Structure 1
Amino acid sequence: MPTLVISRAICANLEAALDREWLVTNGLGGYASSTIVGANTRRYHGLLVAALPGSRDRLVLLSKIEEEVDLGDHTYYLSVNEYPNAAGHPGGFVHLEEFRLEHGLPVCRFGVAGMTLEKRVWIAHERNTTYISYHLIGSRPLVLRLGLLTNYRSIHALTTGTSDRGFQVEAVEGGCAIQSFDGATPYRVLAVPGAAFHPVGVWYWHFIYRRERERGMDYTEDLYMPGHFEAHLEPGESLTLVATTEPADQVELDAQESWEREVNRRRGLIALLGEDREDDFAAHLALAADQFLIRSPLRPENGSAVAARGAEIDETVVAGYHWFTDWGRDTAIALPGLTLSCGRPDEARRILRTWAAFVHEGLLPNRFPEDGQSVEYNSVDAPLWLFQTVDRYLSETSDRSLLEEIYPTLRQIVESYARGTLHGIGVDPIDGLLSAGEPGFVLTWMDAKIDDWVVTPRSGKPVEVNALWYNALRLIIRWSIELGCATAPFVELAETISRSFAQRFWFEAGGYLYDVVDGENGDDASLRPNQIIAVSLPHALLTREQALRVLVTVERKLLTPVGLRTLSPDDPRFVPRYQGDRRQRDAAYHMGPVWPWLLGPYADACLRLRCDSTAVGRLLLPFQHHLTEAGVGSISEVFDAVKPHTPRGCIAQAWSVAEVLRIWRKAKHFKCKRPSP
């Protein structure tokens, strides 16, 4: 059983404990999440965060539980909250002996007067139903009191209570039903096998969310307590609260049965790793990868070309928790690691079919926003990454039927780019290179924009975009031949690029590649990691000597233990830390901070050029420690560019997990196809 343990030393250190969060997801986009001591430090935290049918938004419903234990004439408080001038109140972290993840599920062990109370949290797969279970180990009975702190809002909002407004609370068999206001989706909280529910109906005021404060956001919230459950527990007995929006006939009230079902599902995911199923690091990452694969229906807006084809999102990829939705670029890059490296090719196939159906004017959606917003088609590289993902899928599965099905879409992408499409995307007839750019739009993965200020302007011919463009052309040529389709004019265009790429992008004075050529200010010699993508792709555009020089330069200036910096520290614009308010963070996003996903292309380049799988394996060892910090069991979005490389951004990022898992498994099973130099 893969287990991650956070020791008493960290649990009892409030600052260290508040830096560590857990996450459990339901396969629909909903989740439960908090810190290891149960204090919510983000607006996104909650025990029941529901993805309701027909909606793209997610709602925080049950925010947290206030936990108390009566032993004899003494009351012990197990909860932790942060109020103005009162961090850690009422101090429950002092009783937390251990936090651990078992099969990716959080378990807290509280020690109270020689007794142990074990708390587990899990979610029913593809249901908006959370289980919070308490099991007593010891020799004396106790009284357990559980106060519900409830909510009803988008994950991006905050609630301000008023003394003249409460929620509608109704007693139901086994617990209570809660409705925030007329027309709101009701949810129930049930106690099994049974506990007395005592109505309270009061607001708890001014919870402080420290992570929101650090991010320059509003950070104070009020929560409503409709009541509390109270139960007498004998040693060996358990009490489970079931929080759900689901109809009664879709809620499993046998807590043990529900727990075993979810654990068995997770064991099945680990078994899909095959010969690596006993590798704990791979197992943890496979469980983390599962969090990003969801079912989330979305129909395109009426009247669009995509809607006319009847396309509808079903299975997709959440880019990151807690605030991202599904993004085209992130999906294309992460999909091989999330699915193929996890022994889940069927999910890969379905997700590829879904996203291919949404291609419009040769573009893949940049993202599917939440309710009330239009699908965004503003990414030049996302469709090109799709080619790489399809190629990896076909290499794993030899699934000719999928190729036949989506080949017209892939061909449409290349033809649209060749003749020109939205946002100034088109081919320069002289050198065959792809140019892109339109005022007000950021089209590559370095997409930070603050009002009218584009932080990393890359209009022109970006290096990784053109390497991906060339590789897409080589792939469409191969697939056209396999399917008996015409290859003109793809062959001539690819040959033009093969002659011009190095000539246009090679920066001899630095021994690396320009980041952008023919940009707004000419050729951009900023030392960035995008060039490593060009070196990593299967169809090479550089000589071996040039590729090795790029690799060495990237290692010398950009490589860290947790990924690649986004800008050389020698650059006067270099920003070492990703912190501050939104403007400060966006200004830093791609100006220095480290991105773990870039280790994927870097490792591919290392294996291709040096055939040293042992070195690549060592490269990933720091992530084994990282699994016990930030988002426990997962990998963060970004890290500071300087030591100690503090994790920042999302606590769980799809392409971070996916690329680390992909190259971990690739390095373990790598067979060199060329001798080392």
Structure 2
Amino acid sequence: MSYLKFDKNLMINLEQSLPKEMLRTNQAGAYHCSSIVGCNTRKQHGLLVIPIKEMDNKSFVMLSSLDETVIQHGAPFNLGLHRYSGGVYSPKGHKYIREYDCESVPRTTYRVGGVILTKEMIFISQENRILIRYTLVDAHSATTLQFRPFLAFRESNELVVQNGNLNQNYNEVNNGVSFCLYDGFPTLYMQFNHKPTWVSQPNWYNGIEYVKDLERGVPYTEDLWVPGYFEIPIKKGESIIFSAGTTEASPRSLNKMYEVELASRTCRTSFYNCLKNAAKQFYIKDEDGEFIKSGYPWGPIRARDTFIALPGTTLAINHENDFHDIMATASKALNNFIDNETLDSRIHGIDLPDVPLWAIWSIQQYAKNAGVDKAREKYLPLAARILDWIIAGGHPNLEVQTSGLVATAGTSVPVSWMNATSNGWPLIPRSGLLVEFNALW
């Protein structure tokens, strides 16, 4: 039984369903995030959002959404949902939703007349690829599915407007097509495990609104490019798998790829399993090491957040090896700072005065979990080096006073977790003997 399950009454009520968001990541920085009814409510939402290393590792929305349409007897029933200018929702596909659950992967059940269709989504680990499996559970007559991709190809904190710079050309690939709308971006491959018919019908969909950005008082309207649609007949009991990724896939491998990934998932059958699943979403593993992302959809990798979150996202779910791997990456960046070497560009704020204190706090939590002897053997050299460095006055903004307490200066730059700024200056300047710094010290 799924711990996360919502029925028809909640799903068709947008006041209740739109604020609920689902996040899935690939543990390499890419993610899918949207409301549980599939209507994007933030500019950072998208079906496939990926980091691009060549563009400062910023996240980019490649595929914003995919509208599904059920066709029976020539009549179309569009399951998509978007908000347009003036607060108009169209095409109101949420009215066909009968259930949403997330036992292992997010699954939406639609009912259109005699048609019962399920949609399940899964992210491929360590790969910029999302798979969506559609299963026709029941149907009393011939059924066809259409799929319209809404393409963005823009940075996740920006918005795109209709323009003439877009490259409309596409290439046919195995069971699908590929697009690269602008120079410098990776190619987006959209494919199926069954051969579809691609109908080119390019159009801009103008005036799409993101209600959460509207509420925040920031720009909230954009135009998305819909180049056409796929069309595939589907039989009762049959499943169709859609793949969107930055490399071409083998259509024959999609079903096995889906099943292998599904088998590795932690089912959300308890509150603990929900937390365990959520904790692992924030891991990032790549050739540079293993990190903790400070938050989706917009948080970078931050040193302070890494050390604060490290015990809870690893030790609390029995992932001790991940604790060591993340600590190794973060401590390397901290040692570079201590040695006055080039700072790690991936980990933000390694030079903040409380970061070395949080590093030792994190080691203390490991000692509580694994035992003092084990912690001493693993981390005593690091802890000793940090303490000696602070006492010797090595940190440029953390000074040990004659009282034994530590002081910092935060008049011109924010130094604590209260880091909001206005025109580059701290909104709440904090200097002197900060209580949380000295609690850690």
Per the normalisation by structure 1, the TM-score is 0.61
- Alignment check: 8 A CA contact 2:353 2:397 kept: no
Output the amino acid matched with 2:416: T
Q: Distance in 2 between matches of 1:76 and 1:335?
A: 46
Q: Distance in 2 between matches of 1:399 and 1:152?
A: 50
Per-residue CA deviation, residues 450-483 of structure 1 (Å, 9 max, x unaligned), is 22542333211011211211xxxxxxxxxxxxxx
Alignment pair present for 1:285 and 2:284: no
Q: Distance in 1 between matches of 2:45 and 2:350?
A: 30
Q: Distance in 1 between matches of 2:183 and 2:383?
A: 48
Q: 1:279 to 1:124 in 2, by over 3 A?
A: closer
- Alignment check: 8 A CA contact 1:361 1:416 kept: no
Paired residue for 1:396, among 369, 372, 376?
369
Output the amino acid matched with 1:437: A
Q: Distance in 2 between matches of 1:230 and 1:179?
A: 21
- Alignment check: 8 A CA contact 1:127 1:246 kept: no
Alignment pair present for 1:383 and 2:356: yes
Question: Which of the two has greater helix per residue?
Answer: 1
Q: 1:326 to 1:364 in 2, by over 3 A?
A: farther
Output the amino acid matched with 1:238: S
Structure 2 equivalent of residue 410 of structure 1:
383
What aligned pairs does 1:177-196 form with structure 2 within 5 A after superposition?
177-196=178-197
Q: 1:183 to 1:28 in 2, by over 3 A?
A: same
Structure 1 equivalent of residue 5 of structure 2:
5
Q: Distance in 2 between matches of 1:223 and 1:52?
A: 20
Structure 1 equivalent of residue 199 of structure 2:
198
Deviation at 1:318, TM superposition (A): 0.7
Q: Distance in 1 between matches of 2:289 and 2:401?
A: 37
Structure 2 equivalent of residue 150 of structure 1:
151
Q: Distance in 2 between matches of 1:53 and 1:369?
A: 11
What aligned pairs does 1:290-305 form with structure 2 within 5 A after superposition?
290-297=280-287
Alignment pair present for 1:458 and 2:401: no
Deviation at 1:52, TM superposition (A): 4.0
Deviation at 1:143, TM superposition (A): 1.2
Structure 1 equivalent of residue 256 of structure 2:
257
Deviation at 1:405, TM superposition (A): 6.0
Deviation at 1:206, TM superposition (A): 1.4
Q: What RMSD, in angstroms, separates the aligned Cα atoms of the two structures? A: 2.5
- Alignment check: 8 A CA contact 1:361 1:413 kept: no
Per-residue CA deviation, residues 89-144 of structure 1 (Å, 9 max, x unaligned), is 111111111111122x2111111003211011111111001112211111323111
Deviation at 1:156, TM superposition (A): 1.5
Structure 2 equivalent of residue 350 of structure 1:
325
What aligned pairs does 1:224-623 form with structure 2 within 5 A after superposition?
224-248=225-249, 253-267=252-266, 280-297=270-287, 313-359=288-334, 360-362=336-338, 375-398=348-371, 403-404=376-377, 406-429=379-402, 431-469=403-441
Q: Distance in 1 between matches of 2:232 and 2:247?
A: 25
Q: SS of the residue aligned with 1:145? A: strand
Structure 2 equivalent of residue 587 of structure 1:
none
Per-residue CA deviation, residues 208-230 of structure 1 (Å, 9 max, x unaligned), is 01111112211111111122110
Q: 1:400 to 1:253 in 2, by over 3 A?
A: farther
What aligned pairs does 1:216-227 form with structure 2 within 5 A after superposition?
216-227=217-228
Gaps spanning 5+ residues in structure 1: where? 271-277, 298-312, 470-677
Gaps spanning 5+ residues in structure 2: where? none
Q: SS of the residue aligned with 2:383? A: helix
Q: Distance in 2 between matches of 1:363 and 1:45?
A: 40
Q: Distance in 2 between matches of 1:240 and 1:364?
A: 51
- Alignment check: 8 A CA contact 1:325 1:368 kept: no
Q: Distance in 1 between matches of 2:373 and 2:194?
A: 52
Per-residue CA deviation, residues 323-351 of structure 1 (Å, 9 max, x unaligned), is 00111111111111111111110010111
**Max Rg structure:** 1
Deviation at 1:316, TM superposition (A): 0.4
Deviation at 1:252, TM superposition (A): 7.0
Structure 1 equivalent of residue 32 of structure 2:
32
Q: SS of the residue aligned with 1:257? A: helix
Deviation at 1:398, TM superposition (A): 4.9
% identical equivalent positions: 28
Deviation at 1:422, TM superposition (A): 4.3
Q: 1:164 to 1:387 in 2, by over 3 A?
A: closer
Output the amino acid matched with 2:323: A
Deviation at 1:63, TM superposition (A): 0.7
Structure with the greater relative contact order (CA < 8 A, sep ≥ 6): 1 or 2?
A: 2
Structure 2 equivalent of residue 581 of structure 1:
none
Aligned residues: 437
Deviation at 1:180, TM superposition (A): 1.2
Output the amino acid matched with 1:356: S
Q: Distance in 2 between matches of 1:453 and 1:184?
A: 35
Deviation at 1:399, TM superposition (A): 8.8
Q: Distance in 1 between matches of 2:252 and 2:88?
A: 36
Deviation at 1:155, TM superposition (A): 1.3
Structure 2 equivalent of residue 128 of structure 1:
128
Q: 1:266 to 1:202 in 2, by over 3 A?
A: same
Deviation at 1:315, TM superposition (A): 0.2
Q: 1:241 to 1:216 in 2, by over 3 A?
A: same
Output the amino acid matched with 1:32: H
Per-residue CA deviation, residues 32-82 of structure 1 (Å, 9 max, x unaligned), is 111111111111111111234666222211110122111113221111101
Q: Distance in 2 between matches of 1:163 and 1:384?
A: 52
Q: Distance in 1 between matches of 2:340 and 2:242?
A: 42
Q: Distance in 2 between matches of 1:287 and 1:28?
A: 15
Q: Distance in 2 between matches of 1:10 and 1:336?
A: 35
Deviation at 1:361, TM superposition (A): 4.7
Deviation at 1:321, TM superposition (A): 0.7
Output the amino acid matched with 1:264: A
Deviation at 1:86, TM superposition (A): 4.5
Structure 2 equivalent of residue 99 of structure 1:
100
Alignment pair present for 1:108 and 2:83: no
Deviation at 1:420, TM superposition (A): 2.4
Q: Distance in 2 between matches of 1:82 and 1:235?
A: 32
Question: Which of the two has greater strand per residue?
Answer: 2
Output the amino acid matched with 1:87: V
